Structure 1
């Protein structure tokens, strides 16, 4: 008997990431960006002044965008996509639906980024690209195997050895994933700023 016929391989604890484009992005991105510019002029940066990786964020100073009328259509779209995301994982959703926990915005100027992190005390996390000119820094989803003590050389990348997923930043793109997943961005490499709306949600 050929022992190879009895060998099975499993992708254990796979990380699922979902992306889609907001159908009304061309129509609404400009009005949302105008409101974010207004808020950015009056709301202080949530980051400490001496943070190692600077950028502008309202994660603690203005995280209720989902309750503001100008973001209503985007919020409805996000909830719809989160429902699809939950169903893909066979996650039970309460009769009240998925609850948006926080929604804030971030601005990355040239050279700015955010270090690797996740979002505890929530179920789902996501990012929506309001402004992302060609060449803007991507979001990087990190694999759990980045914690390996020794990085192994591989001759071909596949689902079993991937150390991360690079997702291109494009205006109107929504990316969602489970909140335990580690993620970061590279430094913004162009002169134009990159503006995103981020959020956490609870089932």
Structure 2
């Protein structure tokens, strides 16, 4: 009888923040995100110059954990989730550590999108979700083999998730998503009537 194995698995981690350590106050985190967005003139100018819808602190602030205690609490929880994911990935770190190297706020308004991208120079990337109104975008993940499938027929609509060219992961408030940083992903148009608020991050190795 034929044997069919699944090879070269792409892992995707999904959990509630509260599963690792002290729960993070989402209301406080949301208020902190909005307060920073209002005060960060440099970030606002960067978003306007680069056609970024809404607000991100990606290009302007590198010290969120110092500015508000809730971000410091968040980092402690993120560290535990990332450590659990790194263990699942069976990395041989050779005595090095996976550690946080960047953390930023995303506020995506109604109609906003974040086009397809990867996170160079990082090992593990992720997002934790602060405010997810009804109709807010899911995270769209792309099969990394897609560029090599030029002659492949399309998959059936109800194909198993691991065989689909794209997978949509709809987040809940308080959830964390993790993936290896080379995995291409995007945030489709926000169809909600309110802002979709999240905090994204990269972890490096060294």
TM-score, scaled relative to structure 2: 0.85
Instruction: Please state whether the residue corresponding to 2:47 is helix, strand or coil.
Output: coil
Deviations along 1:126-174, one digit per CA (max 9) or x if unpaired, are 0010111222111111111332334523345125521122111211010
Select which of 22, 25, 29 maps to 2:17. Answer: 22
Aligned-residue RMSD, C-alpha = 2.1
Q: Is the Cα–Cα contact under 8 Å of residues 133 and 170 in structure 1 kept in the other structure?
A: no
Q: Is the Cα–Cα contact under 8 Å of residues 161 and 167 in structure 2 kept in the other structure?
A: no
Structure 1's 176 and 160: CA in aligned 2 closer, same or farther, altered over 3 A? closer
Corresponding residue of 1:154: 155
In structure 2, how many angstroms separate the alpha carbons of the residues matched to 1:151 and 1:105? 38
In structure 1, how many angstroms separate the alpha carbons of the residues matched to 2:89 and 2:103? 23
1:104 partnered with 2:107: no
Structure 1's 50 and 62: CA in aligned 2 closer, same or farther, altered over 3 A? closer
Structure 1's 11 and 55: CA in aligned 2 closer, same or farther, altered over 3 A? farther
1:118 partnered with 2:118: yes
1:166 partnered with 2:165: no
| More displaced stretch, 7-16 vs 116-125 | 7-16
Summarize the alignment of residues 27-46 of structure 1 with structure 2, pairs less than 5 Å apart: 28-43=25-40, 44-45=43-44, 46=46
Summarize the alignment of residues 139-150 of structure 1 with structure 2, pairs less than 5 Å apart: 139-147=139-147, 148-150=149-151
Q: Post-superposition, which runs of at least 4 consecutive aligned residues in structure 1 deviate over 6 A? A: none
- Larger Rg belongs to: 1
Corresponding residue of 2:7: 12
| More displaced stretch, 58-67 vs 176-185 | 58-67
Select which of 158, 176, 179 maps to 2:178. Answer: 176
TM-fit CA distance, 1:47: 3.3
1:130 partnered with 2:125: no
| More displaced stretch, 101-110 vs 58-67 | 58-67
In structure 2, how many angstroms separate the alpha carbons of the residues matched to 1:136 and 1:160? 24
In structure 2, how many angstroms separate the alpha carbons of the residues matched to 1:118 and 1:20? 21
Q: Is the Cα–Cα contact under 8 Å of residues 53 and 109 in structure 2 kept in the other structure?
A: no
In structure 2, how many angstroms separate the alpha carbons of the residues matched to 1:31 and 1:171? 13
In structure 1, how many angstroms separate the alpha carbons of the residues matched to 2:198 and 2:186? 13
Corresponding residue of 2:49: 49
| More displaced stretch, 102-111 vs 140-149 | 140-149
Gaps of 5+ in 2: none
Structure 1's 64 and 96: CA in aligned 2 closer, same or farther, altered over 3 A? farther
Structure 1's 160 and 141: CA in aligned 2 closer, same or farther, altered over 3 A? closer
